[in-house]
Amino acid sequence: MGLWVVSKTKFDVVKLKSVLESRLSKNLIDKVTRKSEDGKYLYEILLDDYIAGTITPMEKIKYFPVFKLLDVIRRSFNRDEDTFKKELKSITIRKIFRNALRSIKQFGLGTPQTFADPVMIVWNYTNNCNLRCKHCYQNAGLAGDKYKQKELSTEERFRAVDILAERDIPTIFFSGGEPLIEKDFFKVAEYAKKKGFYLSIASNGTLITKEMAKRIKDIGFGYVQVSLDAASAEKHDEFRGVSGMFDRSVQGLKNLIEEGIPGCIAYTHMKWNHNEFPKLVKLRKEIGAYKIIVYNYIPVGRGGFEMDPTPEQREEIFKWMYDEIEAGHHIIATTSPAFGAYCKMNNASSIVLAHYADLKTKELGVIADIIGGCGAGRAYAALQPNGDLTPCVYMPDTILGNIMTEPFDFLWNEHPIMKTLRDREHINCKCPYEAVCGGCRARALAYFDDLTAPDPECQYNARHYYAFMEALKKGEKYVPENPYKEKTETEVA
Ligand code: SF4
Ligand code: SF4
């Protein structure tokens, strides 16, 4: 999951809201997102005219909200008009536009925004993996291990792509297990590319030979991230469970970079490797990797609570990341929503937001409050190896249903769990910066078995982290009160 680095916005959200949420706008959006009798959507015709430069002044006035939204998207990606017009021909960008229109129609302009379809699907393609990392959220390993569940067949994987392609989902991020271990991976990915998805991969990098890097390039993946937990073979290999893997991962990364693919280092920040971060920053430069993506540690799967960094360690890594960004080095991305809060709190010149596809833009003028931190169930969902949909890869047991047998629209838009995740008002992670953060809901679930609990990752919630750890030592349970939680019918009775 790459990220957007967001420059401080110049948009007036309140004004934008009043333009896009008026009854007139909603009626217009409704009109342009319906198919006409000749099978075309009006917004497609408007886009074609916009690209061709044949929009009349009357049309500009008549469809003002549509062109306003188009302009917001263009400026969000820091594009000049000519470049944007070229990009608007791509299916991916059209999906983003249609998704934005439908989202405003369905949910209004929100801070944060809820999307009518996920902006990104992370597809845990398989549970198979050639490594045995101690923190694996997916509990992945070699095929035949006793925990293995049935996975989609090749034919079903193609069908899964078709199901996703019917929606306005612009990006698929392949993860696992190790996706590159699967024999059908490139055939399925190529098919997804033809269907108009922006693609990226999370890999341990050990299988990425020069030939494979070429294949990745030919298919047109946007970027690939390779996991490195430490800057030395000794530490990395000990943690990853197989010796010799550090060298192979670094070689895999080099092979990608040689092919011109943005190769990133994915570093999971844990207690034991806290001090590896500055060393990895150096290594990134030596290798020429595009970015370091700092993964927020979440104690699920094989990952235990003892590996979770303290709130103070988090504060320190935030400072390190912040300093890099303020120095003008756009080399950091993170999956930690609390870093968005940290940037805002410190009045940073740009805000790094969790979990959005890195479309090779250095700075986006997007409104941070609209993008809004944790995207689970609001902007993104995860597809498990058997076709189950979960709100996030770090919630492998929160199963909404299986996309092969249940309507995607219901799972995404109607499922009660998704509604809970979207309702920030009842989430007990409160601070002045919650609009750009919201806390990691997977961490809240892992710690307190409650999607609406505080995320014990930041200074605001440090007391919950220490109370939990204290209780854990004594073999007791600690659950924070949630005064914001909506009472269920049973609780009220
Ligand atoms: S209190 Fe919650 S919303 Fe605020 S910064 Fe901490 S984790 Fe984020
Ligand atoms: S729950 Fe939210 S913040 Fe946490 S990993 Fe998932 S999407 Fe990211």
Q: Is 305 exposed, middle or buried (0-12, 13-18, 19+ CB in 10 A)?
A: middle
The protein residue with its alpha carbon nearest to ligand 2, atom 4, reads 440
- Return d(Cα 181, Cα 395) in angstroms, integer: 23
Residue 358 confidence (pLDDT): 42
Backbone phi, then psi, for 80, in 5-degree steps?
Answer: -80, 165
Q: pTM for this one? A: 0.90
Residue 120 confidence (pLDDT): 93
Give me ligand 1 centre to Cα 373, in Å: 10
- Closest atom, ligand 1, to C-alpha of 440: 7
Give me ligand 1 centre to Cα 408, in Å: 30
Residue 211 confidence (pLDDT): 98
Report DSSP letters for 203-240, one per residue.
Answer: E-STT--HHHHHHHHHHT-SEEEEE-SSSSHHHHHHHH
Instruction: Please measure the distance between the N-terminal and C-terminal CA atoms of the chain and give it in whole angstroms.
Output: 43
Q: Reduced to 3 states, what is the DSSP secondary structure of residue 417?
A: helix
- Closest atom, ligand 2, to C-alpha of 376: 7
Taking the chain (493 residues) in consecutive chunks of 10 residues, what is each chunk's mean pLDDT?
42 69 84 82 89 91 87 76 89 88 86 91 93 80 60 97 96 94 97 96 96 98 94 90 92 97 95 96 95 93 91 94 83 87 80 49 50 88 97 95 98 96 91 90 96 93 96 94 68 51
Give me ligand 1 centre to Cα 107, in Å: 24
Cβ atoms within 10 Å, residue 185: 20
The protein residue with its alpha carbon nearest to ligand 2, atom 2, reads 374
Residue 137 confidence (pLDDT): 84
- Return d(Cα 287, Cα 265) in angstroms, integer: 10
How far apart, in Å, are the Cα atoms of 299 and each of 269, 303, 309, 465?
12, 5, 11, 13
Give me ligand 1 centre to Cα 452, in Å: 12
Instruction: Find how far residue 45's CA is from the centre of its chain.
Output: 31
Residue 38 confidence (pLDDT): 80
- The 10s digit of each residue's pLDDT in 118-166 is 999 999 999 988 887 888 887 777 654 545 568 999 999 999 999 999 9
- Closest atom, ligand 1, to C-alpha of 438: 3
List residues near ligand 1 (CB under 6 A): 337-338, 341, 429, 431, 433-434, 437-439, 455, 457-458, 460-461
